[in-house]
Structure 1
Amino acid sequence: MDLKSKTKQLKQHLNNLKEIYESNNPPKDRKDKQFFRMVKEETSPIYQLLGLWEEAVLEVVKERKVNLHPQQVTSTRENMELLLMHSYYIDVKRKRYMELNNSIHYIFDQLLREL
C-alpha cells in the first residue's frame, strides 16, 4: 500500500472516530474488561497502519519530497493515538477533541496535496 492510500485510509478512520465520539456515551465503568477488549480489537489495525504511515512519511520527509517537519509527523501520530482513546472513552471536552481532529486533518491534507 502506498503512502497516499495509507493517508486516505487514516483520514477515513479519523472521520469514523469522530462519529464514534459524537454518538457514543462513555463506558459506565472505565475498568470494564469487555469494553477494553472491544476497543483494542477495533483500534489495533489503526495503530498498525499509523505506525507504517509514520515510517513512510518520515522517509519521504528525509528525502525532502514533502514540506513537513519530522516533529509534525510524530505529533500527528501521537495526536491520532490520543483520539483513538478519546473517541471511545469520551474523556476530553469537545473543543479539545476537535482541535486534535483538525490538526491531524491539516497534516493529512497537506501531505496528500504534496504527494
Structure 2
Amino acid sequence: MELVNYTYKLKEYLQMLREEFEKNNPPEDRKDKKFFQMVKQNTLPIYDLLEKWEELALKVVKERKISVHPNQITSTRENMELLLMHSYYIDVRRKRYMELNQSVSYVLDQLLREIV
C-alpha cells in the first residue's frame, strides 16, 4: 500500500531531520541565498512526499478504515513542515523541537499500527 511506504519514508526523513538539528549550528546569516537554496533543495522532496501522504492518509481516514482523526493528519503535516525549517535554521529550543518530533512520530506510528 502506498500510504505505508510514504509513512515509512517520512519516518526516515524525521530521523534524518533530527540528526541534522543535533549536529548543526544555526546559520550565521539567515538571509544567505546559498544556504536557502541548499535548504530548499534538501527539503523539496520531503514537502512533496508530505503533500501526497496527507492526501492519501485523509482519504483512508475518511473511509473510516482507521481511527486516526483527520485533524491529527493535518497537524502532523504542519508539524513536519515546522521541523523541516527548524532542522536547518536551528531557531527553536531543543525541548520544543523534540516535542514536535515526538508528536509527528507518534501519529506516524499510530497510522502504521492500524494499516499494517
Q: Which runs of 5+ in 1 are unaligned?
A: none
CA RMSD of aligned residues (A): 0.7
Hey, what's the Cα distance between the residues in 2 that align with 1:83 and 1:113? Answer: 23
- Give the aligned residue type for 1:110: Q
1:79 correspondence with 2:93 = no
Per the TM alignment, residue 50 of structure 1 is displaced from its structure 2 partner at its CA by 0.1
Deviation string for 1:71-101 (max 9, x for gaps)?
1100000000000000000000000000000
Shift of 1:29: 0.2
Shift of 1:61: 0.3
Structure 2 SS opposite 1:57: helix
Cα deviation for residue 109 of structure 1 reads 0.2
Q: Which residue of 1 aligns with 2:108?
A: 108
* Identity over aligned pairs, percent: 67
Q: TM-score, normalized by length of structure 2?
A: 0.98
Distance 2:35 2:2 in 1: 33
* Residue ranges of structure 2 left out of the alignment (5+ in a row): none
Matching residue's letter, 1:111: L
Match status 1:58 vs 2:89: no
Deviation at 1:45, TM superposition (A): 0.4
State the TM-score, normalizing by the size of structure 1. Answer: 0.99
Structure 1 runs, 4 residues or longer, greater than 4 Å off: none
| CA–CA distance in structure 2, aligned partners of residues 54 and 66 of structure 1 | 14
Deviations along 1:19-76, whole A, 9 cap, x unmatched? 0000001100000000000000000000000000000000000000111111110000
**What does residue range 14-93 of structure 1 map to in structure 2 within 5 Å?**
14-93=14-93
